[in-house]
Chain A
Amino acid sequence: MKTSRRKFLKVAGLSAFALAGGMTALAGEAAAQVAPGKYVKREGMLQAKRWAMVIDTRRLKTEADYAPLIAACVKAHNIPDIPGDRNVKWIWTDSFDHVFPDDMNNHLNTAVRDKPYMLLCNHCTNPPCVRVCPTQATYKMEDGIVAMDYHRCIGCRFCMAGCPYGARSFNFIDPRLHLPDPVPNPAFPTRMIGVVEKCNFCVERLNEGKLPACVEASDGRVLFGDLEDPDSPVRKALAANYSIRRKPSLGTQPGVYYLV
């Protein structure tokens, strides 16, 4: 059979076009869903483009001020209290020079320098823990929350090495051994040995239309809201007050702000 160059190119071009069209059609096809029903958002859930927290440290001065916030978190998430260096923490306190090591001022005013600061997962815009997780057990959601799927966690602890804030804890032992029976919140699961855990910005409470447990317990001293919304309480507080974040030079863009 004799084919002219022109005819060959015509057929080849048409074939390439058809192939590309077929490929895009396949790529656009939704992943197969098992359930015959539909998945929808929960009614009344709190939604935001970028959740953020503002901690007013001018009104939270002592360990005793932070105690009810920490207690609320522990109760909501069944966090065990394990003595020694195997403890699990979602929210805790530390001294100024540990919390803000970038601040090189040796002669800071004593009121700011000597009080404890509350720490939790910063829910970074560029979370290093998410980049290093080999199983996508930790991931960033569209609303800015860095979440964990404990089912997928293989306990490699790369995320703990990646997190510059020490916000993650590993379950070296079964956490249930150090929890009362029944657990403080029977509606929330515990974790198991061999997984990493951390603060989840109370994503389960946001879905129920409630603010995070520590915010609720803070009596207005910890604010929570949408960083993309200029009318949200966090944006208003940040616009009117001087705030700092932890280790800003790393470029992780934390979502937790401290008013000092």
Chain B
Amino acid sequence: MYNAKAVIIGIVIFVAIFSSPFWTGWIGQDYTKTGVVLPAGEKECIEDTEFMRAQHMRLLDEWRDQALREENRVYESALNGKKWVISLQNTCLKCHSNYSEFCEKCHVANSVYPYCWTCHIIPTEGKR
């Protein structure tokens, strides 16, 4: 092979750089950890953690339609039958009161920027 040494080194460097997202992921920080701080003193959310983690945005979407259109303003949890008044601002944020340590940590890590707070008010931070 003509100029084999340089070509092989070049290929190795290329492969290393090309695959960098994969191996930095393995040796680096666990991508499932975003440093979210759960509210102190609260043991469980309205549903189990797995569901809330994966589906909270769909749940909120459904809550909105149920509350505004069907006037079903109470959600009965399948977890323990506990009843929650449907309200992002007054129910969710009552426990999850630390916006920058909870919502924002995960949203920033996942590059999602929902515009909830142009209308809804974060109790501890006032109108942003």
Interface residues of A (CB under 8 A from B): 33-43, 45, 139, 141-143, 147, 149-151, 174, 176, 179, 181-183, 186-193, 203, 207
Chain A contacts of B79 at CB under 8 A?
A: 37
| Bound Cα distance from A41 to B72, whole angstroms | 5
| Bound Cα distance from A39 to B76, whole angstroms | 6
A-B contacts, CB under 8 A, total: 93
Interface residues of B (CB under 8 A from A): 46-47, 51, 55, 58-59, 61-66, 68-79, 83, 85-86, 89-90, 115, 118-121, 123, 126-127
Interface contact B76-A181, CB-CB below 8 Å? no
Interface contact A40-B121, CB-CB below 8 Å? no
- Contacts A151-B64, A174-B118, A183-B127 aside, 15 further interface pairs with beta carbons under 8 A come to A35-B47, A35-B63, A36-B78, A38-B75, A39-B72, A39-B75, A39-B86, A42-B74, A43-B74, A147-B68, A149-B65, A182-B127, A187-B89, A192-B118, A193-B118
B84 to chain A, nearest CB (A): 9
**18 A-B interface contacts by CB (under 8 A):** A35-B47, A35-B55, A35-B78, A37-B46, A39-B70, A39-B74, A39-B76, A40-B72, A41-B72, A143-B71, A147-B68, A147-B69, A149-B64, A187-B89, A188-B89, A190-B119, A191-B119, A207-B71
Interface contact B89-A35, CB-CB below 8 Å? no
A33: which of B62, B71, B85 is its contact (CB, 8 Å)?
Answer: B62
A173 to chain B, nearest CB (A): 13
Closest 9 A-B residue pairs measured CB to CB?
A36-B78, A39-B72, A192-B118, A38-B76, A189-B119, A37-B78, A34-B58, A42-B73, A39-B66
